[in-house]
Structure 1
Amino acid sequence: MKYTFKDKSYTISRYPKTEQISLRAWNSADEHILKYLEEEEIKLKNIAICNDRFGFLSVLLAEYKPKTILNFRSQEKSIYINLQLNDLDTESVIKTSPLDSIKPYCDLALIKIPKSLDLFRLQMEQLYSASKKDTKIVCAFMTKYFSYQMLDICNEYFELCKQSKAWKKSRLIVLKNKKKRKKSKIKHEITFSNSKKFTQYYGVFSAKKIDYASQFFIQNMVVTLSDNKILDLGSGNGVLTYEAQRQKPDAIVYLVDDSFLAIESSKMNVDPKRSFFYYQDDLSQFEDNSFDLVLSNPPFHFEHETNIDISINLFREVKRCLKKGGSFQLVSSNHLNLKTQLYDFFHKIQIVDQNKKFTVYNCT
């Protein structure tokens, strides 16, 4: 997909690729940020960028060496791919994590407001700490996703919060003049059972409690005596690993998640002596026939998108990594009808249990 900025044409693609041709690598909220920067003649130095999922802003502003805060491994790969596509130095974008201190302080921060307002709060905490007295923060969002909570969060951190007029169904909130305030917590606890609480960073799925799909899955999960090496795919805060290790205390579990904050959260919740953590979006680091059991509550929501292409690609890799005689247990929302896609990779698909919202499958 082509985009022209400052008389230069750029090619920006999505990673991973999708079969849904209507999905682009940017939206008008991204374009609105660039429009504002040009019209206001904003000085582009010491820039921080948040929630740039496919690297659109990072690539177009690469000459200014922005610091891009990476939430996902797939995001990091996407930025790298798009820098290469446009013959740009792959080191021109400085990569940092959501938990890092940003130094030197930024003069300008650009943030696409995420779907999770808990994550937005965590990111505002990071950008507030990286701001000087005259730092300007430009927040962008599509108008249909507006919530007054966005303004409430902005007002917690900055004196001036000016909202723009709508343009191509998007708006901006421009923040200036940081308030004096105490540092906020970026972690919280959610209850799993009477005896177990999970600690996780704000913005990690699910925010208030263990999600219903995982609860239903755990009720039906079976770990056998022969399941010595287990993969937890899309591991989140580690709740499935916790249950697997409860059922089989000597099992070794490999946790894989595309989310940096999810992996960092899971490290606080499971036995580190029997767990290995992988901040990755695929299974390329594992050999064929590696696992006795694979467990997953696979992703299909990506911000405001519903997209099963990523899950289908992961199913293909699960088949490769699963030992002969091993099993792949997963839970899925009924409306996705994943059974059809699972038959592309597995010979036997058993419905273990089903309710009005979710289905638990066992694939061999």
Structure 2
Amino acid sequence: METRVFNSAYGELTLFRRPFRPRETLQAWDAADEYLLQQLAERNLDKSTRILIVNDSFGSLSTALADYACTLWVDSAISQLCSTENAARNNKLPPAFIPANSPPSGQFDMILYRLPKSRSLLTYQLQTLAPLCRSGGIFIGAAMARHIDHHIVSAFAKNIATVKPSLAKKKARLMHLEGEIIAVERQSDSKTITLAEHNMVLVNRANVFSRDKLDQGSRIMLASLEKLDTPTNVADLGCGNGILGISAAQHWPNAHVYYADDSFLAIESAKQNVRQNLGEDYSNATFSVSDCLYGYKGEDFDLVLCNPPFHQDHHVGDHIARQMFRDSHKHLALNGVLCVVGNRHLGYHVLLKKLFGNCETINSDSKFVVLRARKTTPSNG
């Protein structure tokens, strides 16, 4: 794995990010993390300071501030893993952890907020954090300047308080709340969509992919299930609200379906949708908030369904998809199938043919392709 040295205001740290890449070009921190830590160091915080860190993608903040009483609140298994692994790499204690679907409570002296990409997650988090700020917690937000626009400023004003971005430093800004914390009633972050053509009703919590409508990639994948052999053990990898896995369970009622996603809010949505669409007694389902299939110990899969993301936070790329493909190959039974949907221009067929030795297109439209790759040789190791 590729590590980088972060010369933070709290000392030199060796950090890495997931997924692991041998020639990593991205860092586990950015200028907004540097700016935030520099300001905190100037405040000479007491060691007893209780700090809530929100959206610390790879644990750079929690590792730097490990000498304080830190709690991490994120919607990402990758963030949780990296905060633990980077703490260990630097001989630090990991932070306490709260998943995004469990609102933090209690007293915090400081709330450090990294701006999320998802607007729905932003609203949910700001409404949840407002009472903690009213209880005396000092709020400091941080983001790269290009990600702070009038929509972000408006969201703060509507859900927590007026915000004043600082002057830019290395193209990063800090955000400080001004005036009184508003007493807005926390609203439900769930959205319900009805898919009559698929006889399905889906509930999507904040930060769930395509929470307003059925995305075209999933639509064409659903139309491709009938072209696949009947499986007994299926993985819906990067499941989001669970639509592919639920459709697989409807199509093959005797199959066990394993739902995996990096997002705690997505898995909570998938659980609710499985109960709602497959019945309260449906037991052929397992759920995991995980970094792809990291740590999976179950039986090999006959079929992995995957609609992979093509970005990680604000970074566009196929590195998450590559990890999903590698993990799928590792945990597929011999002759098992990985079925992937993706935008044509992403070139997944090249990656799959290199990894599996084969790849065929089983469905397509003007924008998307559905690819099938079959495992024909045992996994190495």
TM (norm. structure 2) is 0.88
Counterpart of 1:15? 18
1:77 and 2:87 correspond:
no
1:190 and 2:200 correspond:
no
Are the structure 2 counterparts of residues 146 and 286 from structure 1 closer, same or farther at C-alpha, using a change threshold of 3 Å?
Answer: closer
SS at match of 2:351: helix
1:302 and 2:312 correspond:
yes
**8 Å contact from structure 1 (residues 289, 320) kept in 2:** no
Deviation at 1:133, TM superposition (A): 4.1
Are the structure 2 counterparts of residues 159 and 321 from structure 1 closer, same or farther at C-alpha, using a change threshold of 3 Å?
Answer: closer
Instruction: Give structure 2 stretches of 5+ with no counterpart.
Output: 375-381
Taking the TM superposition and a 5 Å limit, the aligned residue runs for 1:192-341 are 192-193=195-196, 195-222=199-226, 226-270=230-274, 271=278, 272-286=282-296, 290-341=300-351
Counterpart of 2:129? 127
Amino acid at match of 1:315: F
Report which stretch shifted further, 317-326 or 229-238.
317-326
Deviation at 1:160, TM superposition (A): 4.1
1:98 and 2:108 correspond:
no
Identity percentage of aligned residues: 28
Counterpart of 2:171? 169
Instruction: Give structure 1 stretches of 5+ with no counterpart.
Output: none
Matched pairs, number: 362
Counterpart of 1:30? 33
Deviation at 1:162, TM superposition (A): 1.8
Amino acid at match of 2:32: A
**8 Å contact from structure 1 (residues 48, 109) kept in 2:** yes
1:87 and 2:97 correspond:
no
Are the structure 2 counterparts of residues 133 and 287 from structure 1 closer, same or farther at C-alpha, using a change threshold of 3 Å?
Answer: closer
Report which stretch shifted further, 305-314 or 254-263.
305-314
SS at match of 2:222: helix
Counterpart of 2:147? 145
**8 Å contact from structure 2 (residues 10, 37) kept in 1:** no
Are the structure 2 counterparts of residues 344 and 236 from structure 1 closer, same or farther at C-alpha, using a change threshold of 3 Å?
Answer: same
Aligned alpha-carbon RMSD (Å): 2.2
Deviation at 1:347, TM superposition (A): 3.1
Output one character per residue of 1:262-290: Cα deviation in whole Å (capped at 9) or x when no partner: 11110011134221111111435445872
Report which stretch shifted further, 123-132 or 334-343.
123-132
SS at match of 2:334: strand
**8 Å contact from structure 1 (residues 159, 175) kept in 2:** yes
**In 1, Cα distance between the equivalents of 2:121 and 2:110?**
20
Report which stretch shifted further, 180-189 or 288-297.
288-297
Are the structure 2 counterparts of residues 19 and 121 from structure 1 closer, same or farther at C-alpha, using a change threshold of 3 Å?
Answer: farther
TM (norm. structure 1) is 0.92
**In 2, Cα distance between the equivalents of 1:179 and 1:293?**
49
Report which stretch shifted further, 257-266 or 182-191.
182-191
**8 Å contact from structure 2 (residues 9, 34) kept in 1:** no
Amino acid at match of 2:127: E
Are the structure 2 counterparts of residues 37 and 340 from structure 1 closer, same or farther at C-alpha, using a change threshold of 3 Å?
Answer: same
**8 Å contact from structure 1 (residues 252, 274) kept in 2:** yes
Are the structure 2 counterparts of residues 104 and 340 from structure 1 closer, same or farther at C-alpha, using a change threshold of 3 Å?
Answer: same
**In 2, Cα distance between the equivalents of 1:6 and 1:225?**
56
Report which stretch shifted further, 184-193 or 76-85.
184-193
Are the structure 2 counterparts of residues 333 and 74 from structure 1 closer, same or farther at C-alpha, using a change threshold of 3 Å?
Answer: same
1:357 and 2:367 correspond:
yes
Counterpart of 1:2? 5
**In 2, Cα distance between the equivalents of 1:2 and 1:299?**
28
Output one character per residue of 1:115-164: Cα deviation in whole Å (capped at 9) or x when no partner: 11111111112212333343221111212222212111111233442221
Are the structure 2 counterparts of residues 327 and 3 from structure 1 closer, same or farther at C-alpha, using a change threshold of 3 Å?
Answer: closer
**In 2, Cα distance between the equivalents of 1:145 and 1:101?**
25
Give the alignment partner of residue 156 of structure 2, picking from 148, 151, 154: 154
SS at match of 1:348: coil
Amino acid at match of 1:336: L
